[in-house]
Amino acid sequence: MPFTNKPQVFNASINTVSFGGQGCSVTLGGANVYPLYTFDAAIANMPKIGVEVSDLGCDASIPGLSEFYRGAATVAEQAARAAAMEGADFVCLKLDSADPNGKNSSVEDCVATAKAVCDAVTGAGKPLAVMGCKNIEKDTELFVKISEALQGKNVLLISAREENYKTVGASAILAYGQKVSAESSVDINLAKQLNVLISQLGIQAGNTVMNLGSAAAGYGFEYVASTMDRVKSAALTQNDAMLQMPVVTPVGSDAWSVKEALLDEADMPEWGSREERGIQMEIVTAAACLASGSDAVILRHPESVKTISELISALK
Amino acid sequence: MALKGLDIFKLSPKTNCKDCGSPTCMAFCMKVAQGAISIDKCPHMSPEAIAKLSEQTAPPMKTIKVGDFTLGGETVLYRHEKTFVSRCLYSAYVCDGMSDADARIARVGAVDYERIGERMYVELLYVDHCAEQPGDKYLELVGKAKASGRALILGVKDAGLAARALELVKGTPVILNGANESNYEAMNRLASEDIVLGVSAASIEALYETVEKLEALGNKNLILDVGAASIKDAFANAVKIRRAALKNEDRVFGYPSIVNTAALAPGDSHMQAALASLFTARYGSVIVMDEMDYAKALPLYGLRQNLFTDPQKPMKVTPGVYPLNGADENAVCATTVDFALTYFVVSGEIERSGVPVNLLISDAGGYSVLTAWAAGKLSASSIAKFIDENAIESKIKSRTLLIPGKVAVLKGELEAKLPGWKIVVAPNEAVQLVRFLKEFAG
């Protein structure tokens, strides 16, 4: 008896969400098959790659990164450089400087940075995402002001959480037409609950994506993988509208903050180059995220961006 | 599995003789249907019935042994459905056309370390034969590869050469990855119970037919090569094979798979790592890469350890004293639970702070801090007992103990149980530790 492949094509599909202005937008989601299963049915929007740019400047202790951004003095210049990176689909500005436990930059300064970066990135033909500093109160204020300042630019704000989704959702999406990522801890029920709450604000699907939480490979990644597997399964097999948002996973910040990517070569000579360890941690984590269903990953290093973009092209 | 207890019951003797150990034939058949007991435990079942039932109650994916390693035997497509049972294995790659093959073989053992009780190293070595190279050169390479002490994968399609290579490596666990549509009969004659036969073909349909033919020849000790035509094809094949076996119960494809990233992305170490990650998550059983170095190993083995843990059993670290940042007997003590994720997050943040700390990990059942506390696995008594049993007071001079902020409630009781100790409540979240420790250390 010959082999009969039974493709799994579903009547349900992942929402499509576009961000970025005219001529420079990117579309996430839309698939009606399991992640990367292009052999079951064509996937119109293959996963996308965002390049993370911190407003504190790039990590100068990583030679490849400082070389890539050499001569780009301002954050806006670095963002323009990132936009031109081989394999980059969008730029993600991370407002690290806003952290009240760190530099504690004022909201006004951050808004100014965001505006300059938005101009630079749009000028380079790429859409922009803006990530906060992980301090809920500060982020809420930042997102409101940035939404206002960048009205009409259709940026993606990462992320609204249970504590601030009302303010962020209402101002960013309803008042200023931006897109928002809803972030929950690594758990399918928490993710769904937050999506339900956001939809109750009167926000239509197509305006939000999800950040289901993330972890570097080896650091509890099984929870990330299983949560994404379950979310995609519920979205496709059960047509669960509250889990059909595309998934955006910030991989870079996790990958570059584990011991494997931080310890100096002097401390661990047999481990070899620190930069190479960081790149491989970023690549391995990102590829595993794509396998489980990330519709976009956000990375830092040009080499990881290039490799993951080649992987995505090869699977298309 | 499709067969129900009642279906089996129809074929049973229905005598309730109890020879199988079950009170009735019905009870026995129910257990067989659940896979709790094997059908041949009934001494009165007719041979025809056994033949029919053992086929149908057999697991959907065979378990293949390569030496001490176990491949396959999976029952689910996603780990959250139950658990994965056989972790994938990683292999290094050499071929007889390489000028640096000897050096590569010498480096096979370069990565070797332990992480949460598991030894991390390259389990296998793939020895490939390029058609244009003379056979003797290949045999020489196989001889050297054998000395590496690794289980070997012999990539050779010429049955004559394969026979000579197998002769050389007698006693070493071997996968002979060389059968295809045209040579499977000759290759099958070389395979035996100790030698797993790798099967490849130009298309997945041809692969399926070849496996059927090999099974007809009585060989069920196989591993399926997903091919190297393209990354897209290899991924599609890996998924289709596993899905056919587990979801569609097509046992012809109920075998583990082998993926050669060295052939899919020649010379591209970063792409090979990306592919190794992809296939670790999706259905590669043996994953071949040019070489394994620490930069690749640290994330890959970590990923594999994560994905192949049983979701019902939390990963635990061994209880004990973990001196961080070069902590000596004068460094302060801190304590948390033995749940691996907690340990990694907490120890990572402590390392980031640069402050020397003796981290005391007591047995808390592998639960997170709050769960362990609620379950009574983390208490003032359990911490005091740990300090007493491990003779901490004689090993460490510091009498300061940091406890997780989430169990601040334990402070009073701990002070009562540990006279002379200063109990300090640390922050609730690990991310706040860096700042806290820096300020604490002054």
CA-based end-to-end distance of chain A: 30
Q: Please answer yes or no on whether B205 and A3 come within 8 Å at the CB atom.
A: yes
- Percentage of chain A modeled with pLDDT above 70: 100
Main-chain dihedrals φ then ψ at residue B115, nearest 5 degrees: -140, 125
Mean pLDDT over B348-353 rounds to 87
Residues of B in contact with A303 (CB under 8 A): 270
Q: H-helix or E-strand containing B198?
A: strand B195-199
Residue B141 has pLDDT above 60, yes or no: yes
Q: Position B122: which residue type?
A: V
B39, B205, B209, B218 from B201: Cα distances, Å: 36, 8, 9, 19
Residue B427 tokens read as: 């922050």
Q: Which of B236, B248, B294 comes nearest A271 by C-beta?
A: B294
The pLDDT score that the predictor gives to residue B315 is 79
Tell me the CATH number of domain B7-55, given options 1.10.15.40, 3.40.50.720, 3.50.30.40, 1.10.340.70.
Answer: 1.10.15.40
**Beta-bridge partners for B112:** B121
Residues from chain A that touch B306, judged by Cβ atoms under 8 A, are: 217-222, 225
At A267, the pLDDT band (50, 70, 90 cuts) reads: confident
Per residue in B355-387, pLDDT (tens digit) is: 999 999 999 988 889 999 998 999 999 999 999
Q: Determine the pLDDT at residue B35.
A: 66
Alpha-carbon distance B242 to B255, whole Å? 8
Tokens of A276: 């190479």
> Is it the case that residue B1 has pLDDT exceeding 60?
no
| Cα A264 from Cα A133, distance rounded (Å) | 26
A1 has a pLDDT exceeding 80 = no
Mutation pick from B307, B308, B315, B367 vs chain A, by most beta carbons of A within 10 Å, is B307
Q: Does the pLDDT value for residue B215 go beyond 90? A: yes
Cα-Cα-Cα-Cα dihedral sign, residues B339, B341, B346, B350: positive
B240 pLDDT above the threshold of 60: yes
Neighbours of A54 (CB within 10 A): 19
* Sheet with B400-403: strands ordered across: B320-324, B357-361, B332-336, B400-403, B422-425
Residues of chain A with Cβ-Cβ distance to B292 below 8 Å are none
The answer to whether the beta carbons of residues B363 and B319 sit under 8 Å apart is yes
Search chain B and give the residue with CA nearest A316. Answer: B232
Burial class (CB in 10 A: 0-12, 13-18, 19+), B413: middle
Contacts of B289 in chain A (CB under 8 A): none
Does the structure show a pLDDT above 50 at A44? yes
Q: Give the distance from residue A203's alpha carbon to the nearest chain B alpha carbon, in angstroms.
A: 31
Identify any residues that bridge with B339 across adjacent strands, giving them in sequence order. Answer: B316
How many residues does the structure list for chain A?
A: 316
Q: How do residues B160-178 score in pLDDT, each as one tens digit?
A: 999 999 999 999 999 999 9
State how far the Cα of B195 lies from the Cα of B192, in Å rounded to an integer: 5
Q: Does the beta-carbon distance from A316 to B232 stay under 8 Å?
A: yes
pLDDT per position as a tens digit, A89-145: 999 999 999 999 889 999 999 999 999 999 999 999 999 999 999 899 999 999 999
Asked if residue B54 lies in contact with residue B39, where contact means CB atoms within 8 angstroms, the answer is yes
- Residue type (1 letter), B176: L
A189 in B contact zone (CB under 8 Å): no
Token pair listed for B87: 């972790």
Bridge-based pairing state of the strands A208-211 and B357-361: unpaired
Cβ–Cβ of B232/A314 closer than 8 Å?
yes
How many interface pairs between A and B have CB atoms less than 8 angstroms apart? Answer: 172
pLDDT at B2 exceeding the cut of 60: no
Q: How far is B267 from chain A (nearest CA, A)?
A: 13
A271 interface with B at CB cutoff 8 Å = yes
Q: Chain B contact for A103, CB < 8 A? A: no
B305 contacts A315? CB cut-off 8 A:
no
Alpha carbon separation from B114 to B118, B211, B326, B339, B350 (Å, rounded): 5, 38, 19, 17, 21
Q: Is A281 part of the contact surface with chain B (CB cutoff 8 Å)?
A: yes
Of residues A276, A287, A316, nearest to B274 (C-beta): A287
Strands, E, within chain A: which ranges? 16-19, 26-29, 48-54, 90-94, 128-131, 156-160, 179-183, 208-211, 248-250, 296-299
Fold of B320-441: Rossmann fold (3.40.50)
The distance of B27 to chain A (nearest Cα, Å) reads: 35
Which of A217, A233, A286 lies closest to B302 in CB terms?
Answer: A217
Contacts of B268 in chain A (CB under 8 A): 307
Q: Using CA atoms, how far apart are residues B162 and B391, in angstroms rounded to an integer?
A: 59
B339 pLDDT more than 80: yes
User: What is the fold, at CATH topology level, of the domain defined by B63-307?
Assistant: TIM Barrel (3.20.20)
Pick the CATH number of A19-27+39-314 from 3.20.20.20, 3.40.50.11710, 3.40.50.300, 2.40.50.100: 3.20.20.20
Instruction: Quote the CA–CA distance of B231 and B322 in Å, as a whole number.
Output: 43
Query: Would strands A16-19 and A26-29 be described as parallel, antiparallel, or unpaired?
Result: antiparallel
